[in-house]
Structure 1
Amino acid sequence: MADRSYLDWPFLTPAHKEHALSLDSWAEALGTIDHKDTDNACRMLVARLGADGWLNTTAVDPANPAPLDVRKLCLSRETLARHDGLADFAFAMQGLGTGAISLFGSPEQQSEWLPLTRTGQAISAFALTEPQSGSDVANSTMTARDDGEAWVLDGEKTWISNGGIADVYTLFARTGEGPGARGLSAFVVPANTPGFEIAERLDTIAPHPLATLRFDGARLPKSALIGARGQGFKIAMSVLDVFRTTVASAALGFARRALDEAVARVTTREVQGKPLADLQMVQAHIADMALRVDAAALLVYRAAWTKDSGAPRVSREAAMAKLFATDEAQKVIDAAVQLHGGDGVRSGLTVERLYREIRALRIYEGASDVQKVIIARQTLDAAPAG
């Protein structure tokens, strides 16, 4: 059984511990998830997560608005990732996809969509990345033109998670209030909007629903605007400020599973009549893995606790958590593969699946190199002048 002692850390409350343990039991009962048909698997997972109430933490309740509990979001992603990467993905995208509506949406937008996404009746997506801009969000080129009666969308988005299966997209486009970051706005885009199509489905080493989206004169009502014109960059960064820490927690879940698998392997596999665990070199691997897991967990729950404590922004804390947890999880999983020997690269084995699943987390929602820039800028800005 995985280590649970961190649930008693002062960052977390008894309610958080109960949430994590209950979700762990729920995920255990899920059984094996078929990853060959990711679209249907994700639809099934969203429906079950919603029906059983686990998606309530992903968005505000329009009838009783309260801030998102980032620690619950992190505990949910860590727990689900430890069991199955697609379960984590299905949960995470319900939060990220509606994050802008939760934080900045009008009462009408919240009432229309959040009851559906919180119950798993609608699937959401976050459409930010473009073919040419990637992590450089300020240089997005997709446009939303105000023709007096409607917003008219033209352009493409790519690497959009849940692309092709989502019912609603939060989309960011250039409305021209100023250059760079100052000229972006956010919109609610239903999947059945005329002029919107799925241009391409994208395959990756760890399959997830991903697509390139194309907009050709797609018309949205004026009420589709989220927040104010020209506030799109601020909205996107505020959403990432919350959900970037949860990416770190998913990496933590993968790392914990890898450590569990490695411990099980070395305590049952024998070499020359003795368990692998008796070898000091193997013990060194286990020690390094355990250290990386706990250090990552401290950064993850420090960032989540800071946000839940009322900090308006946690860009530095979230960037540190994502950078460290994803990079260290890659090392933990690589060590687990090594300790499994030839079985470690055998298709279908848990550590082989983890090895494929962890890699994308060091890229999406801000690549590791971008996190270093954020941390450096925040640190330099806080330094005394001179």
Structure 2
Amino acid sequence: MKGKKFLVMILSAALGMSTFAACGRRVVESEKKTTETEAETETEETENSEEVTEETETENVDEDDIFAQLAGESFMFTSGAGAWDSTLILSEDGSFVGNYHDADAGDSGDGYPNGTLYYCDFYGKFTQPEKINDYTYEMQLENIATKETEGDTEIKDGVKYIYTGPAGLEEVYDLYIYLPGAPLDELPERFLDWASIGLTDEDTTLPFYAIFNTLTFDTFLGPSGDKVTVNDKTTTSDVSIESELQKIEEKAAAMQEDLSSGELTQQEMNALSLQLYQLWDNELNSIWSRLKETLDEDTMATLTQEERDWIKTKDSAVEEAGKDAEGGSLQPLLENDKAAELTRNRVYELAEYLK
């Protein structure tokens, strides 16, 4: 069905630090820390926050300092089909934060009518990349940790959460970073199997950055070559908030198209409407994280209180929206629609601070 692949294209990055789940070639246990805001801690509503390092102006960097050039950029491991993806966001020092989720709307039961979600918040750090050739850098996984304990389960908002490991990084030996411009005929076939979802028949060179797990062949696709420039030694990841929101709107529109198609079952509509809400909620958390990095302490304190008040108002409105269908199969859809609407509005309110 047209647009259905957008079920997986959610910019998820959920943070909060807790139990270590060590894996990989070089694993070092590091100090625990938290990235939750005060508002997130008290409400547990905006618990997904990204530590995003965004370059707001072009600056000179070392040509081989790949992390500096990719700071704040997202890399996604997905097949382009089915409701799953694993996404990580890089920082300048090689650390990263990420989220994995895989929705199964058909796996529902008593207490979780909205289905099952396999879920993992993770964070860690890569070693400094070593240049192999003009288009390839090699690195290892220095450490990795998860927020939730793998194997634990809980039910939230009618969804059964099953906590897993960090998909794509559970088993690691060497990792390759492939740069835009790499000749496709020189890249591993197993890499191209995953990268093909971002390629066209006309492509002869790689048009985007990618991280390739040489042990499992899992592949994270990153930004296009015209977004981050290597050869002129500059960073150009100064995409405006307007452009960022336009991309979110396009994904939301594709989801809305599916919801209005008349081709989905009620259960599928419930699951998709939840993902639409999560799309806007993830963007809200991303903006919130950047505000923490840019606003002064007094402004942030005021905004935090405002955020708490907004969350209470939103929760009440969502509960009210579902009352007419309370206990019925339509209730989740009504609640998710209202949550998505209000969260989208809040995204645009907070985005004003980034202009």
Task: Please give the TM-score of this superposition, normalised by the length of structure 1.
Answer: 0.26
- Give 1 or 2: higher strand fraction: 2
Q: Which has the larger radius of gyration?
A: 1
- Give 1 or 2: higher helix fraction: 1
Greater RCO between the two (CA within 8 Å, min separation 6)? 2
Task: Please give the TM-score of this superposition, normalised by the length of structure 2.
Answer: 0.28
